[in-house]
Structure 1
Amino acid sequence: MEQQVISATLPMLILGLGWTGQFLAELMVSLQLNYAATTRDGRNNTIQWSLPSACQDIDVSALPLAKTVLVTFPVMQPECMTTLIDAYQKKHDTQPQWILLSSTRPFDGNPANRHTPLDRSKDTGRIPAEDIIVERGGSVLHLSGLWGGQRQPKGWVPRFPSKEAIKNKLLARQLHLIHGKDVARSILAVHEHYKPGRWIVTDNGCYDWIKLFLVWGNAEQIAIARDLAANDATCHDALGDGSLEDIVNRGGVKPRLDSTEFWETFGLEPTEFLKIE
Structure 2
Amino acid sequence: MGNLTGKVALVTGGGRGIGRAIAQRLAADGALVAVHYGHREGAARETVGLITDSGGRAFALSAVLGQPGDASALYERLDACLRERGEPSELDILVNNAGFNIPGGIAAVQPQDFDRLMAVHAKAPLFLIQQALERLRDAGRIINISSAATRVAFPESVAYSMAKAALEALTRALARELGPRHITVNAVTPGFVKTEMNKKRWCAPEDEAAHAAYSVFGRMGWPQDVADIVAFLASDDSRWVTGQCVDASGGSFL
TM-score by length of 1: 0.53
Residue identity in the other structure for 1:65: E
| Structure 1, 149-158 or 24-33: larger mean CA deviation | 149-158
SS at match of 2:98: coil
Q: Where does structure 2 lack aligned partners over 5 or more consecutive residues?
A: 46-58, 79-88, 100-116, 176-184
Superposed CA RMSD in Å reads 3.8
User: Is the 8 Å Cα contact of residues 72 and 100 (structure 1) preserved in structure 2?
Assistant: yes
Residue identity in the other structure for 1:146: V
User: Is the 8 Å Cα contact of residues 201 and 207 (structure 2) preserved in structure 1?
Assistant: no
Displacement of 1:32 in angstroms is: 4.0
Moved over 6 A (4+): none
Instruction: Name the count of aligned residue pairs.
Output: 181
Q: Determine whether 1:198 maps to 2:245.
A: yes
Residue identity in the other structure for 1:203: G
The corresponding residue for 2:232 is 189
CA–CA distance in structure 2, aligned partners of residues 93 and 26 of structure 1: 22
Identity of aligned residues (%): 11
Given candidates 13, 21, 29, the residue that maps to 1:16 is: 13
Displacement of 1:146 in angstroms is: 0.7
User: Is the 8 Å Cα contact of residues 92 and 137 (structure 2) preserved in structure 1?
Assistant: no
Given candidates 67, 76, 84, the residue that maps to 2:92 is: 67
Residue identity in the other structure for 2:19: G
Q: Determine whether 1:256 maps to 2:244.
A: no
Q: Determine whether 1:103 maps to 2:175.
A: no
The corresponding residue for 2:107 is none
Given candidates 64, 75, 95, the residue that maps to 1:50 is: 64
The corresponding residue for 1:38 is 36
Displacement of 1:198 in angstroms is: 1.0
* Residues 13-32 of structure 1 deviation map (CA, whole Å, 9 limit, x = unaligned): 11111311222233344444
User: Is the 8 Å Cα contact of residues 10 and 67 (structure 1) preserved in structure 2?
Assistant: yes
TM alignment of 1:62-211, pairs within 5 A: 62-63=77-78, 65-74=90-99, 76-77=118-119, 78-91=122-135, 96-108=140-152, 123-137=161-175, 138-147=185-194, 154-157=202-205, 174-175=214-215, 177-192=220-235, 193-194=237-238, 195-196=241-242, 197-204=244-251
Displacement of 1:79 in angstroms is: 4.3
Residue identity in the other structure for 1:100: N
Residue identity in the other structure for 1:181: Q
CA–CA distance in structure 2, aligned partners of residues 47 and 121 of structure 1: 28
Displacement of 1:95 in angstroms is: 7.0
CA–CA distance in structure 2, aligned partners of residues 159 and 94 of structure 1: 45
User: Is the 8 Å Cα contact of residues 9 and 65 (structure 1) preserved in structure 2?
Assistant: no
Residue identity in the other structure for 2:133: Q
SS at match of 1:199: strand
CA–CA distance in structure 2, aligned partners of residues 122 and 22 of structure 1: 21
Displacement of 1:106 in angstroms is: 2.3
TM alignment of 1:220-259, pairs within 5 A: 256-257=253-254
Q: Where does structure 1 lack aligned partners over 5 or more consecutive residues?
A: 1-7, 110-119, 161-168, 205-254, 258-277
Displacement of 1:93 in angstroms is: 6.8
CA–CA distance in structure 1, aligned partners of residues 247 and 228 of structure 2: 14
SS at match of 2:95: strand
Displacement of 1:156 in angstroms is: 4.3
TM-score by length of 2: 0.57
SS at match of 1:67: strand
CA–CA distance in structure 2, aligned partners of residues 178 and 156 of structure 1: 16
User: Is the 8 Å Cα contact of residues 36 and 47 (structure 1) preserved in structure 2?
Assistant: yes
User: Is the 8 Å Cα contact of residues 89 and 96 (structure 1) preserved in structure 2?
Assistant: no
Over alpha carbons, which structure has the higher Rg?
1
CA–CA distance in structure 2, aligned partners of residues 36 and 174 of structure 1: 34
